[in-house]
Amino acid sequence: KVSGATKYSDQNIAVVFVATPPANVAKVIAAAIVEHPSAVITDVASVKGSIFRELEQLVSSGWDRIVGGHPMAGREVSGAIGAQGNLFLDRPWVIASSASTSAESIAVVEELVKSLGAFPVVRSIEEHDRAVALISHTPQVVASVLAGELMDAEGSYIELAGQGIRDTIRIAGSDSDLWTEILSDNSEYIAEQVTQVANHLLEFASALEDGNRNSVTAKLVKGNQGRDRLPGKHGSSQQSTAILAVRLDDKPGELARLFTVAAQANVNLEDVRIDHSLGHPTGLVELTLAPNSVSILKPALELEGFVVIS
């Protein structure tokens, strides 16, 4: 059947979440509207315009119960194996609906979103699709293109790969079939954004070829400033942080021991990054923490025998 919710049609369903591949979302919503005449219907698809355009051809009534949704959270792996209990914690969940959607239906979804630890953000359909083209879809394109360059690279180059390239191409491991659907459904806005990025890359290449150090610096600084615009912890502005690098033996329990020292020192770790050393049974752990915590954690780690690099 089109909708997996059909077997529950005789029950009093309050909310139906549609979490299918993008190509099926509109059809499943249309079926759910009929199967569950009193339920609010919402979805989690990352593109809204194409879905609502298809719904206009499929749905004649019940528009007041259709609430477009998109949790701004996810992983590069799909299916149940990618599930995490804190996946939506402190993440924005966009609500983008038609003018016919009732305030009551939106309120129902907002309360559910809050119960999952996320915070609802209301946007128009166009605002949503333009935004995700920049902050979600174009990064996928850039990561995939850069990762694709590795296919033709010398094996000796690949051996030198560190955390920088891994961080940049992490999402290139995403499901290619799913992302083909997503990119195709938001193609107009993504193409516009990718073209802009490509032009900026060409400008960067020209600056390098011309030896224009001022231009190179200006572009790097602009990148610094753009990154700083991203919301920090709990949606606040970016806070100043410091990096503490620790050499770690690659054996069971070492990472747990490091975290224990940090906890005993009452130091909060904002982020942790691990870079494995080529040909050596050690790794470099980069701890991101508040600047005033460095003087506390560094001696505590050294006291426990850890080698602190910086």
d(C-alpha 97, C-alpha 49), whole Å: 10
Task: Confirm if 94 and 74 have CB atoms less than 8 A apart.
Answer: no
Q: What pTM was estimated for this model as a whole?
A: 0.76
The confidence score (pLDDT) of residue 73 equals 86
Confidence of residue 203 (pLDDT cuts 50, 70, 90): very high
CATH for the stretch 242-308? 3.30.70.260
pLDDT-wise least confident of 72-76, 95-99, 217-221, 286-290: 72-76
Secondary structure (DSSP) of 211-254: T-HHHHHHHHHHHHHHHHTS--GGG-PPPP-EEEEEEEESSTTH
d(C-alpha 68, C-alpha 18), whole Å: 10
Confidence of residue 1 (pLDDT cuts 50, 70, 90): very low
The confidence score (pLDDT) of residue 47 equals 95
DSSP H stretches of helix in 150-212? 155-158, 163-169, 176-185, 187-209
pLDDT tens digits, 239-292: 688 999 999 888 899 999 999 999 999 999 988 988 876 666 678 899 999 999
pLDDT tens digits, 25-83: 999 999 999 999 999 999 999 999 999 999 999 999 999 999 999 999 876 666 777 77
Tokens of 284: 């470099």
- CATH topology of 4-123 equal to that of 129-228? no
Q: Rg (Cα) of the chain, in Å, rounded?
A: 24
Q: How confident is the prediction for the chain on average, in pLDDT?
A: 90
In the CATH scheme, what architecture does the domain 129-228 have?
A: Orthogonal Bundle (1.10)
Task: Confirm if 74 and 49 have CB atoms less than 8 A apart.
Answer: no
Task: For the chain, give every domain's residue range.
Answer: 4-123, 129-228, 242-308
The confidence score (pLDDT) of residue 80 equals 73
Task: Confirm if 105 and 65 have CB atoms less than 8 A apart.
Answer: yes
The confidence score (pLDDT) of residue 234 equals 52
Confidence of residue 237 (pLDDT cuts 50, 70, 90): low
Overall fold of domain 4-123: Rossmann fold (3.40.50)
